[in-house]
Amino acid sequence: MIEARQGRWRTPLDVQQAFYAALVDVKRQMKKIEQPADPADERLDTGRLLDVTLAGDRVSLGIEWVSLAGTSRKLIAPIATIVK
């Protein structure tokens, strides 16, 4: 989000790079809070950026989250920010 606020998201590739850099941190944080007894379908394996839409001051991300069990959920995350 810092990169977005600083106007560094000019293209979908900029957003993609920021997403995958943040994914490393998200996975690390999720591993820290996981418990051995947590079911595999409630533990994060990976995330994938499906779509990026830049429109005015809005960014929309299509994200797929995949659990260790192999199940996945898709999410559309609209973000209001200043895209310069």
The partner residues of 32 in beta bridges, in order of sequence, read none
* Cα(81)–Cα(26) distance, integer angstroms: 21
* pLDDT tens track for 2-55: 777 777 788 999 999 999 999 999 999 999 999 999 999 999 999 999 999 988
Total domains in the fold of the chain: 1
Does the pLDDT at position 84 exceed 70?
no
Global pTM reads 0.81
* Cα(79)–Cα(57) distance, integer angstroms: 9
Range of the domain at 33: 2-80
Read off the pLDDT band of 73 (50, 70, 90).
very high
- The secondary structure of the chain as a DSSP string is -HHHHTT---SHHHHHHHHHHHHHHHHHHHHHH--TTS-GGGSEEEEEEEEEEEETTEEEEEEEEEETTS-EEEEEEEEE----
